[in-house]
Amino acid sequence: MTVPNVIYNPDVGGGGPQGAQGWQGGGGQGPQGPQGWQGAQGYQGSLGNLSRINALGGFDIKLTAGEALFRGEVVRVDPNNDNYVIKAPLDSDMPIGIVFDDADNGADVWVTVSGRGYAKPTAAVTAIRGDVIVCSGTTAGRVDQSATLPAAEKHWRECGHYTENGSGNGVAAAAVIHFN
């Protein structure tokens, strides 16, 4: 099995190719199997200190929180600070990811940029499996949802699709995260 350089990079830590069993990165207790790999974070894997595969199978990158951020909030790049993220403003056309774990202002924050993660709907809405999610027009950092494709003017606001029903209003639910 040939391991592409995007996964195996000795400059960011971790191990090397493991043949048919996949890739094993830097120690830890994550699962390993015929199609998987083990990583330093104890999740499904770690690609070094600045990226990882999260517990749901999404691809996360590590940035710095420019304000208190909570699981499922949509973020954008902070225009005032290098490598910082802040909540996406209302109707944001520039979302870059969704927060995987809560983070205090100035702390490291894991941001899901593709694959599975969590998305938090507005306070009066419960996530519906299969709905398209877009940056909210009423609450910064939250998502609105729709059973149909959003209008063309919302194309750049799309964040993904819920993969499960939520457990209550405003509660983060699993989603496939992608951006247009």
Query: Both tokens of residue 61?
Result: 């990158």
Residue-wise pLDDT tens digits, 157-176: 889 999 999 999 999 999 99
Distance CA 4, CA 130 (A): 32
For strand 51-53 and strand 59-65, is the pairing parallel, antiparallel, or unpaired?
antiparallel
For the cut 50, the answer to whether the pLDDT of residue 79 exceeds it is yes
Residue-wise pLDDT tens digits, 123-147: 999 999 999 999 999 999 999 999 9
Q: Report the pLDDT value the prediction gives residue 37, as an integer from 0 to 100.
A: 45
Q: Report the pLDDT value the prediction gives residue 148, as an integer from 0 to 100.
A: 85
Angle 41-59-108 from CA coordinates, rounded to 5°: 60
Name all domains of the chain by residue range, CATH numbers in brackets. Answer: 1-48 (no CATH), 54-177 (2.40.300.10)
Give the DSSP letter string of 23-66: EE-SSS-----TT-EE-TTSSSEESSSSEEE-TTS-EEEEEEES
Distance CA 33, CA 44 (A): 10
